[in-house]
Amino acid sequence: MDKSIHSKEYKVVLQRLKKARMEAGLTQVQVAKKLGHHQSYISKIESGERRVDVVELKRIASLYNKSVSYFL
């Protein structure tokens, strides 16, 4: 039995968030600064410690030049 607190679907979202950030050539620090957060905020989102909300996902998608549907 998988003891993860996240579904397989959410793990895909997390992988795509990190991949999109890297494809955009941005560090967690750069993304955090552009969104008005600390680097740890982005780190926690990408690691699954913090759930990303839809409004923040929309901002992140725009920053990475991706559609929101890319992450879903």
Chain mean position to CA 21 = 8
pLDDT score of 1 more than 50? no
Q: Which band of pLDDT confidence, cut at 50, 70 and 90, is reported for residue 6?
A: confident
Measured distance CA(63)–CA(57) in Å, rounded: 10
Percent of the chain at pLDDT exceeding 90: 86
What confidence tens digit (pLDDT) does each residue in 52-61 have?
999 999 999 9
Average pLDDT over residues 41-46: 96
Half-sphere CA count of 56, side-chain side, radius 13 A:
15
Q: Going from the N-terminus, what domains does the chain have, and what CATH number goes with each?
A: 8-67 (1.10.260.40)
Give the global pTM.
0.86
- Per the listing, tokens 């968030």 go with 17
Q: Tell me which residue has tokens 């552009």.
A: 34
Looking at the chain, list the stretches that DSSP marks H as alpha helix, in order from N- to C-terminal side: 8-23, 28-35, 39-47, 54-63, 68-71
Mean pLDDT across 17-28:
97
